[in-house]
Amino acid sequence: MKKILLIIMDGLGDRPNESLNGNTGLQAAYRPNLNYLASHGVNGLMFPIREGVRPGSDTSHLSILGYNPEEVYTGRGPFEAMGLGMKVKAGDIAFRANFAYRDKNGIIQDRRAGRISEPTNELCDAISMELDGVKFSVKPGVEHRAALVMSGDNLSDRISDSDPHETGKPSHEISPLDPEASHTAEVLNHYLSEARKILDSHPFNLKRSERGDLPANELLLRGAGKAPSLKKFGEKYSMKAGCVVGIPMIAGICDLAGMDVVKYAGATGTVNTDYVGKIRTALEALETRDFVLVNIKAPDVAGHDGNPDLKRRVIEWSDRAFAQIIPKLGDILVAVTGDHSTPCVLKEHSGDPVPLVITTNGMRMDGVIRFDEVTASHGSLKIRSSDLMTLLMGLSDRAEKYGA
């Protein structure tokens, strides 16, 4: 029985790039350690979720961990809130929110309050409160964006938006879409009226008005979602599990799944992360655990930037860090793959599959000797992300016998 190290290189898959002579960043990279893993293991392509699906990192990580997003993905609210580093517990209701400008007659004149350039932390803190037994937490996103999380008993996400989704109208009263949501709607309307008073008189907004900027005096809510209750990962697979991830949304998902979120100093979620430290931290975390997930965000960042050469380089930096894994392959089964493709030519996620390699000492090999999108396609595996965990359980000799 081996321990499992699952390395998700975010947005790993790519398409041919002219500037790399028709290669992907992965094909162009010097990657002796990834190639060592390929030539000592099994290889193939993995479709995130399903053939052709263009997933977000949230839905694909859920699927990779063995949670069916069609059952547990409750809309963007909870996942965006986690993405802002908010703690979201099962049963919490989370919203995407905008700071907007409401005129004296209560009409929303700008849904973005002129796109706010300064941080809104002060405003968010001012309207975070407990009210009617419910805890309201607001955290800032980019510009006018924010997220709201409600924590309390018997809350429901079956409520309407307050966001009118167009200007020239007042914000909507929140109304219940199901009878059992009436308590939630009532508390929320009370909260929003309190928040309006605070925002109207807040120094942040008085200063904006003085400067001639639109005050951010209304919090528009949309996309209510109830944070899902995930079956604990540790129970599901009988493994003590942790993760080493730089990006808050993935940390939030792992936390919801009951995995230990292992901190390390150099984690940044950017291309300048401490790659060596991240893998070292993961290997140390495995000493007291059976399973560790590592997310390396950098390839996705390079893909969104449309920068093939940066993508090549972050893969080389990652590869160098992977050297630490090879001496441990007696005790550890390692899998390296992506959560989705982020081709530089698109600067966005695509429906292309991602390469996958799974290696440990003593396992059957499939003759593939390099790790990249094209060579992997000649390997022995063609799977969907939902099959990855059971496959890893099988190959690490952790699967329960099914039958006699």
Cβ 187 to its own copies, closest distance in Å? 27
Cβ 169 to its own copies, closest distance in Å? 27
Q: Which is nearer to its own copies, 200 or 348 (CB)?
A: 348
Q: Which is nearer to its own copies, 119 or 394 (CB)?
A: 394
Q: Which is nearer to its own copies, 281 or 350 (CB)?
A: 350
Cβ 59 to its own copies, closest distance in Å? 3
Q: Which is nearer to its own copies, 3 or 76 (CB)?
A: 76
Q: Which is nearer to its own copies, 152 or 353 (CB)?
A: 353
- Rounded distance, CA 274 to CA 296, Å? 10
Cβ 73 to its own copies, closest distance in Å? 7
**Residues 358, 391: contact at Cβ < 8 Å?**
yes
Q: Which is nearer to its own copies, 113 or 376 (CB)?
A: 376
Cβ 256 to its own copies, closest distance in Å? 15
Half-sphere exposure of 376 (CA within 13 A, CB side): 30
Residue 325, burial from CB neighbour count under 10 angstroms (0-12, 13-18, 19+): buried
Chain residues in the site for its own copies (CB under 8 A)? 13-16, 24, 42, 45, 49-60, 69, 73, 76, 79-80, 83, 249, 345-346, 348-353, 362-367, 373-374, 377-383, 387, 389-395, 397, 399-404
Q: Give the three-class secondary structure for 334.
A: strand
Token pair listed for 97: 């929110």
Cβ 342 to its own copies, closest distance in Å? 11
Q: Give the three-class secondary structure for 291.
A: strand
Cβ 258 to its own copies, closest distance in Å? 21
Q: Which is nearer to its own copies, 163 or 339 (CB)?
A: 339
Q: Which is nearer to its own copies, 16 or 176 (CB)?
A: 16
Could you count the other beta carbons within 10 Å of the beta carbon of residue 4?
25
Cβ 200 to its own copies, closest distance in Å? 32
Residue 170, burial from CB neighbour count under 10 angstroms (0-12, 13-18, 19+): middle
Cβ 304 to its own copies, closest distance in Å? 13
Q: Which is nearer to its own copies, 183 or 349 (CB)?
A: 349
Token pair listed for 260: 């230990």
Q: Which is nearer to its own copies, 163 or 372 (CB)?
A: 372
- Rounded distance, CA 139 to CA 176, Å? 25
**Straight-line distance from the first to the last Cα atom of the chain, in angstroms, rounded to the nearest whole number:** 20
List own/partner pairs for 173-182 with CB under 8 A and 24 or more apart: 174/221, 180/154, 180/156, 181/156, 181/157
Token pair listed for 154: 């018997």
Cβ 50 to its own copies, closest distance in Å? 6
Residue 224, burial from CB neighbour count under 10 angstroms (0-12, 13-18, 19+): buried
E strands along 85-142, which residues?
93-102, 107-110, 129-131, 134-140
C-alpha pair distances (Å), 273 with each of 14, 26, 268, 276: 21, 18, 5, 9
E strands along 206-266, which residues?
218-226, 241-245, 260-261
